[in-house]
Structures are given as C-alpha cells and as structure tokens.
Structure 1
C-alpha cells in the first residue's frame, strides 16, 4: 500500500463502475483518492428509466462540461425536460462523473473505463493461467497490438490521424 501514498491514496484517481461496495471500500481504504464513476455505467442505468436520444446527448454534454457553470446549464436543460431525470443524475453525485468537478492537477481526465474493459476482455483467457504464463501471453498480446496499430498508421497519408482530423474538422 505504500504505492498509494501511505494507504490514504493522496494524488491518485480511481475510476470504477460505481458499485456501492466499491464506493464504500475506496472511502474507507483510500479516503484521499479521487474516486470517479464510469459515465458509461451511469448512462446505462439512466437509459433504463429515461429513454430518448435527447437525454443521451445532454448527459454526455454534462459529463464533458469543463466548468461548473456549463454543467449547470446542461443540467437545467435536462430538468426542463424531466425533473425526475435531473434528480436521478444529481443523486449519482456529479462530482464523480463530470469533468467540471474533477480535481485540478490530475493527469487523467477519463470519464469512462472502456479501455480497461476492452483490455480485460482481450486477456480473459490468459487471466486463468499461472502468473508467468499469463504475463507472457499479455506481453505477446500487447506487442502484437502495438505492431498492428503501427502498420495501420503507416498506411495513412496524413500527419494527423483520422480520428483527430475528424474532430478538428467539426
């Protein structure tokens, strides 16, 4: 536990699915850590109660809002459509899922843990093996992925990758 600043978690950010047991465990074991909830998990549950493309778009605007003021504007828009949707999101503690409230000085601005889910899915079979075998399979997976991504990138006739170029144009 010395890795996380004397057991208290000062300076680290933890991103989880927001499971009640996890929320309590982090509060107890790492009270100084910034604990964020995965926005994808929040919207998945939100969409079970509040349907419509407008809610999805507004939710992601609230998630990506960079200031408290812009967050409040979006939340008021949600409230004008459905007060219960507004209350549902407020009850999920926006300080844990909106960039508007993330602590300054963090090197991570992630709002969802899709990368770790994808990685875990890709190495699922390796995770059931003895530690050395597991690590070797993960090492090979990562090396092959880096190599294949590099080959794909070399095919581009661009200085800027297509995903960033698309964002730049919009």
Structure 2
C-alpha cells in the first residue's frame, strides 16, 4: 500500500519524529547529540525552518518545527541523510540510522508532553531570558504571528496557570 502524500505548505507547523532501526540507539553519547544539533542548525539555514522544540532520546527524536516554505520533504531527506553519514563516519557504522521515512503530523501536542521526561536534551532547558516554568517553545513562539501557534500557546498557558 503506498504512503499517504506529504502535506506541505508555507507556514506549516510539524511534529517530526524518527526512531533508529530495530529501536537501536541513534545517539551513543553527547557528542552524537551535539552533531545532531549542528546538523539541525545547518538544515535550518538551508531551508529557513524555525525550531520551536525538540527532545533527543537515545533511540529517537522529536522536533516541533515550522516551515516558511513547503520544503519539509527536501529538508528531512538532507537532514537525516547527512546526520546518518556523519554518525556512521564517527562511530564506524555501515547502515542507516533512522528507519524509513520520519513520521510527520501537522501540529501536535505530543512533543510538549515529552518535557516531563527526565532528560538533559530537551529544548526547554535553554535559557528563556527570564525564569519560567513554561517550556522554551512557548516563550519562543508567543509573539509570533502564526494563528495556529498562538492558539496552541494560549491553551498551554491556560493549562500551566
């Protein structure tokens, strides 16, 4: 059965998630995580993506991102391929890391639920500019013009308050 067509449009917000093959680790240490974030920074520069939140687990990741242009498929192909090549070169591995195409959903809460996980690689641990119990992704997007994000932020702030 063929895959459903990808939903891509400018200004879309996506939850992107991908696991390692056979649930294997895609991050063996903090250097791998830093390499992943460096590669994520590069794909953002290439595509114009805006990252609102992320969490890096040992065998998978979640990213909440916004695409100003309809370029999610192009960007994910470059991002996953490039990170896999770099990981393999560093760790002397000869296979692909994330299995298949990453799961993508247009706007979800799921990544924000991961902020309760005890994990040092959550985007919410970045400095927000002021003390806050609100995850970084909310502080980062609350002034944006995206109606969808503003509704999400309002709901989350209501839950947090």
Compare CA radii of gyration and give the structure with the larger one: 1
Richer in helix (by share): 1
Structure number with the higher strand fraction is: 2
Q: TM-score, normalized by length of structure 2?
A: 0.30
Under a length normalisation based on structure 1, what TM-score does the superposition of the two structures give? 0.29
